[in-house]
Structure 1
Amino acid sequence: MERYIYQNGKKLRCGYTTGSCATGASLGALLNLMDKRVEGVEIRALNGWDIPLELHNQERRGEETTASVIKDPGDDPDITRGIHIFSRVAWGKPENTDGYFINERKNIYLTGGEGVGTVTKKGLQVGPGYSAINPGPRRMIFETLEDLIPEGREITIEVSIPEGREKARKTFNPKLGIEGGLSILGSTGIVKPMSEDALIDSLKIELSVWKEESGREDVVFTFGNYGKKFIEENTDYSASEAIVTSNYIGVMIDEAYRLGFKKIYIAGHIGKFVKLAGGIFNTHSKVADARLEVLTACAVIAGEERVTLEKIVGSNTTEEAVSYIKSPAVWKAVGDRALKYLRERTYGEIDIEIAFFSFEEGRLYGSEGR
């Protein structure tokens, strides 16, 4: 599929999702079942693009057929690259339809087989007990196949991924409560290479699952593993309760507000909190930095001497700058400003508390005794 986007000045080839693969494999298997075997199919993605797909592993055994499509994520660094997504299509309906997705016309019964995960927790787009086949792929499969099925006939579809269980260990699935394999994904059917959207969506889902499973109105955010260790060693929370936001703290605060959380506790390294003290809510260095400038401004507020200010602004890292600061008032200035921006972002409707540390000095600041 020769479709491209430009990102950071690079031309990157788009690919197609596991949902598109499942749709193509299902279409190929159905055509074979109807004595219309082909070597390739073309499907319509949900964004309107036509996707040509080559079929593999076509077999027919009486009243059922199988086919597979090889996953091609384009230039996206996707762990599912090159794996086969299989579909088995059979005439008739299953004896027990529990756990099956059924289309509105009641003539297609869809489930997941080997290597497709099973949802075990609430808060996802699929309910507990069902295969992790998201709404977008289900819609693609149903819309692609339903008009081809002869009047009065029914079909059962089982999507499988032989490598799915092993690959899933390197994804968010186990933490999200999706057990035994990968998810069949794709809101449009197209993979846009190196997009942040998939990661952000995964983080939002993790937060939603946490709220559903815990039933709590408070949540703990941190930026990475160092923050989780700090939380474990310095608070009443456990590391397992912390949701790692990476650089997307602003997005996750917005999502916590949308989901109705009443309290947020954020812990992390001083380098991240200095950015928050400057009102920077995507903490990736490519988006904005200004750590030393903000820290210098806070040091001015705290009354640090000029020689110290010059050392701070001339530092190579935040950790180096920390070594020059002697007054706890600097950390209070950083904390106060970070809290100001955080609370403004939630319109003052969420109780937000914070704590931050450096590697050399340990805990530097905690609001409300944190």
Structure 2
Amino acid sequence: MTSGYTLPVWVAVAAKAALQRLLGVKGANDVSLALLQPDRRVSLPCGPLALLEPGVALGSSRCDPGDQLDLTRGLEVWVTARLQPAGPADDLLLVEAGEGVGVQLESGAPCLSAYALRLLRHNLLPLIPPARQLLLRVVLPEGARLGLRTSNAAFGVVDGLALIGTAAEVQRGAAPDQLARARQALRRLADDTDHRQACVLVIGENGLDLARARGLAAGQLIKAGNWLGPLLAEAAELGLPRVLLFGYHGKLIKLAGGIFHTHHHLADGRMAIVTAFAALEGLAGAALRRLHDAATLEEGLNTLRRQAPSLSQRLEQRLVDAVENRAQAYVARYSEQRPQLGAVLFDRSRSLRMQGPIGRVLLSELSHGTTGAAHLGSAH
């Protein structure tokens, strides 16, 4: 498979193209970029450029994630670059969120990873003329629509796509190389005498962020991607005594239906699973149909919680219990080892939405220093 590049890289391409246009460089179809992570330089295509007014230029690019199934494929990126006077104490590079760029709900600041900012600074600061400041405004025309298909809101990011990523190349969460990396991380954990008493399997970067906020030890966190089934079996075979599944309910609910590879391009079925479990709890007729036809899992569960709180509570507990039971049965098929295996699921509001009986115990045992995790409420 061909590896492509993350959204921060294509933002940097458009930004550098815009700045070069301001500086009088014309006709360039490609932009030379230092990726930093990995440490190499590449030449990547930019899109149309325009000088909008004196001192302001527009650069563009189009995301290419390679062979990875990724919602940013073909996403247009527009960046306006403005050079303005700067004082001695001014930051030479400022980044504003335009339409379609995710912002932090509390502060309104653009959601920009440390890598994304470092990439921009490294590639742009040497080009900024003396006594000038560069103001970038990033626009993702389809970002607001695509942002609704992500779990960004679970981490306090609204209005569009977050410019996140810890490296230039797309990490293929559904690809075999992601599984190989996660298995290597599990083996290192099994050999670590300080941390091998437990592992916490999370799906992606957002899950890692929330797990750390909850006080779960970084040394016990394993980024599983979507390969939960094989990694559960691997953890058992390595003799890890406690395994906690910690993740967004939109992913982990799939395990209640026996789906152990959670990438949505390979298997979904969340609404069918939730509807079947709701019927087992007594939901019927028009209410059951509304749940099944909800635009999103979150919307369906929240509507049910408002309209039938008692049934909603029973349903959510049944779901997370099934996640634990199915995970334990999966491990039993492939390993003679029997770790304690629990599940904790959170929702888009950063609240712990569902905890299985084992997950509740493991979370209590493994968490520490959670006083700063103000957004992490308790599951019912």
TM above 0.5: yes
> For residue 40 of structure 1, what is the amino acid of its counterpart?
D
Aligned position for 1:188: 167
Deviation sequence 1:242-277 (CA, Å, 0-9, x none):
9x9xxxxxxxxxxxxxxxxxxxx865263322245x
Return the match for 2:41 from 50, 59, 62: 50
Is 2:255–2:326's contact at 8 Å kept on the other side of the alignment?
A: no
> For residue 114 of structure 1, what is the amino acid of its counterpart?
E
* CA separation of 1:149 and 1:83: change in aligned 2, threshold 3 A: same
SS at 2:326 equivalent: helix
Q: Which runs of structure 2 are paired with 1:335-350 in the superposition (5 Å)?
A: 339=340
Aligned position for 1:201: 205
Structure 1: runs of 5 or more not aligned: 1-11, 95-103, 122-127, 212-218, 245-264, 279-288, 298-336, 354-369
Aligned position for 2:141: 162
Aligned position for 1:72: 64
What CA distance in whole angstroms lies between the structure 2 residues aligned with 1:110 and 1:116?
Answer: 11
Is 1:168–1:180's contact at 8 Å kept on the other side of the alignment?
A: yes
Aligned position for 1:273: 328
Aligned position for 1:88: 80
What CA distance in whole angstroms lies between the structure 1 residues aligned with 2:161 and 2:85?
Answer: 25
| Per-residue deviation, 1:220 | 8.1
Is 1:220–1:241's contact at 8 Å kept on the other side of the alignment?
A: no
Q: Which runs of structure 2 are paired with 1:1-370 in the superposition (5 Å)?
A: 12-37=1-26, 38-46=28-36, 47-60=38-51, 61-92=53-84, 106-120=91-105, 128-193=107-172, 194-195=174-175, 196=178, 199-207=203-211, 223-224=252-253, 227=256, 238=313, 268=323, 270-275=325-330, 278=332, 289-290=333-334, 339=340, 351-352=361-362
SS at 2:64 equivalent: coil
Identity level (%): 20
- TM-score, length basis structure 1: 0.55
What CA distance in whole angstroms lies between the structure 2 residues aligned with 1:32 and 1:17?
Answer: 23
Number of residue pairs matched by the alignment: 242
| Per-residue deviation, 1:199 | 3.9
| Per-residue deviation, 1:82 | 0.6
> For residue 45 of structure 1, what is the amino acid of its counterpart?
L
| Per-residue deviation, 1:62 | 1.6
SS at 2:70 equivalent: coil
Aligned position for 1:97: none
What CA distance in whole angstroms lies between the structure 2 residues aligned with 1:165 and 1:209?
Answer: 26
What CA distance in whole angstroms lies between the structure 1 residues aligned with 2:4 and 2:82?
Answer: 29
- TM-score, length basis structure 2: 0.54
What CA distance in whole angstroms lies between the structure 1 residues aligned with 2:113 and 2:82?
Answer: 22
Aligned position for 1:301: none
* CA-based RMSD: 4.1
> For residue 158 of structure 1, what is the amino acid of its counterpart?
R
